[in-house]
Structure 1
Amino acid sequence: MKKSELRQQQIKRLKKYVNFQDKKQEDSQLLEKFLGLKIVKDSQTFGVTASLPMEVDTSELIARLWDQGKEVYLAKARTDQEHTLDFLHYTYKSKLVRSKFGVEEIAEDDHTEINNELDVVLVPGLAFALDSHVRLGFGGGYYDRFLAKYQRQTVSLANKVMQFRQANWPVEKTDVPVQTIVTTEKIY
């Protein structure tokens, strides 16, 4: 199946799943499993994307990281020639704006600290292959370009709709696998 076809299929499946109580429960379970990871306990700086409703909810995760005294950096798409990401320091005082992708990002501010050398980056996606750890993103390549240069810990949270035993889509050499995939049943 082509990536674009699976991407559209996954978006429909995930939007439908938003309406089920299972999603909220699964998001909570994934959050608890993530917070229980040794790499989370041993890390101080975290890169996160503000989630869309169809994704695993990151709002509670961000609040819990703050409660633990951790630093959170929110992803912001760079629309220059590189089409990659920067992670901007995010606090409860940060002003957010909706990007052209519909994702909340920190508003432009000359005083916002950028940190692209984070201890852990939480990588979003539409689908995750549990055997190879490759992911299907939204198609812009922003995360893959960032991850190609990033050398630290990457983690993804995958609900049951996002999980595939193996990639049912073409995997390209520019697709960067995540190191750890957290599901409600197991950590891969």
Structure 2
Amino acid sequence: MDKKEFRQQQIKILGEYADSEQKINEDQALLDSLINTELLKNSRSIGVTSSLSYEVDTAKLIAYLWDLGKEVYLARANNDKEHTQDFVLYNYMTRVSRSKFGVEEVSDPHAKINNELDLLIVPGLAFAEDSHQRLGFGGGYYDRFLAKHTATKTVALANTKMIFSSAQWEIEATDIPIEMIITPTSILQN
């Protein structure tokens, strides 16, 4: 199965899993595990994506980060041919709008951008336990960002439907592995 087909299969599987009690419980377990990491405790500026229904829910995470006094930066895709993105300051007063991908992004074009983040919570459709590779959504936004910002620490939250012992998809030279993957039962360090 090629990468595009695998991606579509994962979206279907995750969509069917989205409203299940198990997913809700796993999302909470992932958040609880992340909260207890030194990586999060030692990070001041944290980048995150507003999640879609079939992704691990980031709403509680964002609220928790605000409560801790962390600076939260929400991903915003740029309208360019290079498929770049920036991380824009996000707080409870920030106005957001839906992007062409259906995710909430900061709508103020003059909002503070910080691409030198301490920590980035990287979304994905699938993650490989052995290589820490991720299957993203196909635009290459995160891989391009991470290739430029190598000092930023990365972590992914992966429920049981997202985790694979090894990559079942093609790995490309431009794919950047994730440093830490948190699953409902373990924390995998690269």
Partners of 1:135 and 1:146 in 2: how far apart? 14
76-85 or 86-95, which deviates more: 76-85
Match of 1:183 in 2: 183
Q: CA deviation digits over 1:97-151, x for unaligned, max 9?
A: 00000010000332x1000000000000000001000100010111111011112
Match of 1:96 in 2: 96
Q: CA RMSD in A?
A: 0.7
Match of 1:38 in 2: 38
Question: Which runs of 5 or more residues in structure 1 are unaligned?
Answer: none
Question: Which runs of 5 or more residues in structure 2 are unaligned?
Answer: none
143-152 or 92-101, which deviates more: 143-152
Alpha-carbon offset, residue 19 of structure 1: 2.4
Q: CA deviation digits over 1:71-90, x for unaligned, max 9?
A: 10000011213211100000
Tell me which amino acid in the other structure corresponds to 2:130: D
- Residues 1:63 and 2:98 are matched in the alignment: no
- Residues 1:170 and 2:170 are matched in the alignment: yes
Match of 2:143 in 1: 144
Match of 1:127 in 2: 126
Secondary structure in structure 1 of the residue aligned to 2:46: strand
Tell me which amino acid in the other structure corresponds to 2:127: F
Q: How does 1:77-116 map to 2 (within 5 A)?
A: 77-110=77-110, 112-116=111-115
Tell me which amino acid in the other structure corresponds to 2:149: Y
Identity level (%)? 56
Partners of 1:162 and 1:109 in 2: how far apart? 33
Secondary structure in structure 2 of the residue aligned to 1:89: strand
Tell me which amino acid in the other structure corresponds to 1:100: K
Partners of 1:85 and 1:49 in 2: how far apart? 11
Secondary structure in structure 2 of the residue aligned to 1:117: coil
Q: CA deviation digits over 1:125-182, x for unaligned, max 9?
A: 0000010001000101111110111122000000000000000111000111110000
